[in-house]
Structure 1
Amino acid sequence: MAASFQIRKYQDDDAETVREIFTLGLSEHVPSLFMHLLKQPVTQMVLMCVFCTLMASSKSFLLPILAVTLLLAGIRQFVVHMANRYIETGLSGDLNDISEAYLKQKDSCFWVAESDSRVVGCVACLPAENAPGCLQMKRLSVRRSHRATGIAKALCRTVADFSSERGHAGVILCTSMVQTSAQKLYEHMGYERIREFAPPGFLFKVTNFVTFEYRLDLQRSGKKDN
């Protein structure tokens, strides 16, 4: 599917649309995160213990099945809650005042993708705290209706070009293990996975949830282009 679009710098009128795209994009990962939790040994052990204990004490299938069903519903609600907390953190943080966070800072910028006069995607970058000489790509998101049209790739290239023009050595980014489509995109664009780590918090360690860090070496990328 081909799409006609343009990439332009963010304007204050885009605020609500960008926040909506960000919220919808992250909400899509709730089912994948829920399935990841269900596959973890600790989750399966809890479910099995509850089922077997109630089965032995009640001598009936109905009560243990009902209890497991309620536990599954509770786990899913917990995943939704955690996702909403992460979304709120973004909305109340840098996305609360995008101009202040990105457009007024050195080596920072925020762009939107516009198709048929409608904002359908966004991306941002700013200096990387833990990688001197690199910029960090953030907030890449494209509406589901406009994916597989080249918009995400164009947004990635916009960040790379911006970074290269300012003499930076590379671009880094972080993405979670459940964002498999994003991982494929980054690897297609020349990014290499350089490390993986568990986000802070006991829950992430117990559930084996990890975040991947990717890097695009602009100097090497430039040599390839030449």
Structure 2
Amino acid sequence: MANIQIRKYEDTDAEAVKEVFALGMSEHVPSTFMHILKQPPTQMALMCIFCALMTSSKSFLLPILAITLFLAGARQLVVYMFNKYIDTSFRKDLKSINETYLKQKDSCFWVAESDGRVVGTVACLPAENVPGCLELKRMSVSRSHRGRGIAKALCRTVADFTRDRGCAAVVLYTSVVQIDAQKLYERMGYEKIREFVAPELIAKIVNFTLFEYRLDLQREKKSD
């Protein structure tokens, strides 16, 4: 953690925060694409396309070309979905971080800074569906600065902030494709308490699962 400073967000950080967030989300495109390919509906569709075209054309070339186009289209769909999510985030809470997180009660936004450059972010605000708890959001660390303990420090910052406000726990949501994030949170003491499929139609088709994690600060305090 040499030369790493965790501090509250400032308005001059806006573009850097958006860049860290966008790059971090875009990294999940390959793993999401692979997740979709492993799902039975996708494999069934690929098999049906191949068999139907093979039977009708009596040639390997057309089925292979069709499968290639199908896979290319599926990957572009994943890219579109992530870009849409990023754009939506830019129009909502990341449009005015100061208004969303710094002027609201029990909310905050922090950045990790290295040599004057923003390399990590995290935020929290009151959890909508879990009264008395805060929700960890917008956790991201630049690829070039991972493995230095920054993510752990950002997690601890949110836990300390939540504890200081007398809240019972920190909750967060992550997805089935974010394996490294799941491992991090579990090492930090979070417990997976629920899993559910994202509500969007395409998410249901490809079984895109979300996980809810919880860090119980009251139990943590008792164990201390």
Where on the TM-score scale, by shorter chain, does this alignment land: which range? over 0.9
| TM score, norm. by length of structure 2 | 0.98
Cα distance in 1 for partners of 2:210, 2:160 equals 25
Q: How many residues align?
A: 224
- 66 and 99 in structure 1: CA distance in 2 versus 1, 3 angstrom threshold: same
Any residues of structure 2 matched to 1:21-170 within 5 Å, and which?
Answer: 21-170=20-169
Q: Secondary structure at the match of 2:124?
A: strand
Q: Which amino acid letter does the alignment assign opposite residue 101 of structure 1?
A: T
In structure 2, what is the Cα distance between the partners aligned to 1:145 and 1:53?
Answer: 47
Give, in whole Å, the separation in 2 of the partners of 1:152 and 1:28: 16
- Rounded to whole Å, the distance in 2 between the matches of 1:201 and 1:21 is 26
Q: Provide the residue aligned with 2:179 in structure 1.
A: 180
Q: Deviations over 1:168-204 (max 9, x none)?
A: 0000000011000000000000000010111112211
Q: Would you identify which runs of 4 or more consecutive aligned residues in structure 1 move more than 4 Å?
A: none
Which string of whole-angstrom CA distances, capped at 9 and with x for unpartnered residues, describes residues 136-177 of structure 1?
A: 000000000000100000000000000000100000000011
User: Distance between the aligned counterparts of 1:119 and 1:137, measured in 2?
Assistant: 19
Partner Cα separation in structure 2 for residue 208 and residue 199 of structure 1: 8
How far the C-alpha of 1:116 sits from its partner, in A, is 1.1
Alpha-carbon distance, 1:222 to partner: 2.0
Aligned to 1:200: 199
Question: 1:126 Cα deviation (Å)?
Answer: 0.3
Shift of 1:97: 0.3
Q: Which runs of 5+ in 1 are unaligned?
A: none
Q: Distance in 2 between matches of 1:90 and 1:71?
A: 29
Other-structure match for 1:220: 219
1:87 aligned counterpart, secondary structure: helix
1:87-120 superposed Cα distances (whole Å, 9 cap, x missing partner): 1111111001000000000000000001111110
Report the CA distance between 1:3 and its aligned residue.
Answer: 3.8
| Alignment partners' CA distance in 2, 1:205 and 1:214 | 21
